[in-house]
């Protein structure tokens, strides 16, 4: 019998710990990861891991005969996963902006309150945490290691991208009756959306929440850069 996923259980905590360790490793070893060979191995390896996680999910759908309209690629994290793959491969700024802001924003929310009905050791448990940790790791890697810094303008552009991605998701919801990007209704499992107003008003509130989270991410990067700059000046020898 499959064990159900329990919010804030040991299995959930293990996934969150793995995410924290992945981010800490990228930030902690960022100098080593900037070396050309190590950088290529890490970037391509992470891109391959993300792509492989989705290939494994599609294979699982096939093997278990679990294909359905819900498998269409219109969830925010599914879309940002592929943006992250191509951002890692190309390092194009537009893709990096989407990977950093929307990828981390969506994946962090998913990791905090997973839309998951089965727990450890089901395949979907491992796929869920591997894919979402990979999305967060991609955004952190491209910013902390490759130094592609977000800007105020890119923060605003990412909000426009979020709304642009919601258009095909909303159309798909209307046609299929599914709930991509949770635009049609709140998820049946507990989530941060439970703290917001009923449908459809929570969609408007999500715009404000997304904007706050986007600028919070930007603030973290700006603060980290300011601290690093002050440390660099403090460590410079006094030649006067």
Contact 80, 68 (CB under 8 A): no
Q: Is residue 234 part of a domain?
A: no
pLDDT, residue 3, reads 81
Contact 81, 128 (CB under 8 A): no
Q: Where are the alpha helices (DSSP H) in 64-200?
A: 76-90, 93-97, 104-112, 123-140, 152-176
In whole angstroms, give the CA distance from residue 185 to residue 188.
Answer: 9
Q: Is residue 1 part of a domain?
A: no
pLDDT > 90? residue 167: yes
Q: How many CA atoms lie within 13 Å of 230's alpha carbon, on the beta-carbon side?
A: 5
Q: Is residue 100 part of a domain?
A: yes
pLDDT, residue 84, reads 98
Please state, rounded to an integer, the average pLDDT across all residues of the chain: 93
Q: Is residue 223 part of a domain?
A: no
Q: For residue 128, what are its two tokens?
A: 């869920």
pLDDT, residue 62, reads 96
What are the tens digits of pLDDT across the range 82-132?
999 999 999 999 999 999 999 999 999 999 999 998 999 999 999 999 999
Cβ of 191: how many Cβ atoms within 10 Å?
Answer: 18
Instruction: Say if residue 77 is preceded by a cis peptide, omega within 30 of 0.
Output: no
Q: Looking at the whole model, is its pTM more than 0.75? A: yes
Residue 126's domain comprises: 10-218
In whole angstroms, give the CA distance from residue 201 to residue 86.
Answer: 34
The residue assigned the tokens 């989407």 is: 98
Helix (H, G, I), strand (E, B) or coil at 200: coil
In the chain, what percentage of residues exceed pLDDT 70? 96
DSSP 4: B
Q: Is residue 237 part of a domain?
A: no
pLDDT, residue 234, reads 62
Residue 191 to residues 77, 111, 140, 206, 237, Cα–Cα distance (Å): 15, 10, 24, 13, 51
Q: Is residue 232 part of a domain?
A: no
Domain count, the chain: 1
Q: Is residue 43 part of a domain?
A: yes
Residue 172 to residues 83, 117, 167, Cα–Cα distance (Å): 19, 23, 9
Q: Is residue 236 part of a domain?
A: no
239 confidence band (pLDDT: 50, 70, 90): very low
Residue 34 to residues 79, 116, 137, Cα–Cα distance (Å): 27, 36, 15
């Amino acid at each position: 019998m499959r064990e159900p996923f329990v919010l804030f259980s040991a299995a959930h905590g293990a996934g969150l710990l793995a995410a924290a360790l992945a981010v800490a490793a990228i930030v902690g070893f960022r100098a080593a990861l900037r070396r050309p060979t190590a950088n290529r191995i890490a970037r391509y390896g992470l891109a391959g891991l993300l792509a492989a996680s989705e290939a494994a999910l599609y294979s699982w759908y096939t093997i278990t005969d679990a294909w359905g309209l819900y498998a269409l690629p219109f969830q925010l994290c599914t879309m940002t996963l592929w943006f992250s793959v191509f951002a890692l491969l190309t390092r194009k700024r537009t893709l990096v902006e989407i990977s950093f802001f929307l990828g981390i924003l969506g994946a962090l929310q998913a990791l905090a309150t997973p839309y998951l009905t089965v727990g450890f050791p089901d395949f979907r448990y491992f796929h869920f945490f591997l894919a979402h940790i990979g999305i967060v790791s991609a955004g952190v890697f491209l910013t902390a290691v490759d130094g592609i810094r977000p800007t105020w303008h890119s923060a605003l552009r990412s909000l426009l991208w979020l709304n642009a991605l919601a258009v095909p998701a909303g159309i798909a919801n209307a046609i299929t009756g599914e709930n991509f990007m949770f635009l049609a209704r709140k998820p049946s499992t507990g989530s941060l959306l439970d703290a917001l107003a009923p449908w459809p008003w929570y969609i408007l509130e999500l715009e404000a929440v997304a904007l706050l989270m986007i600028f919070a991410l930007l603030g973290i990067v700006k603060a980290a850069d300011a601290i690093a700059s002050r440390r660099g000046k403090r460590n410079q020898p006094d030649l006067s």
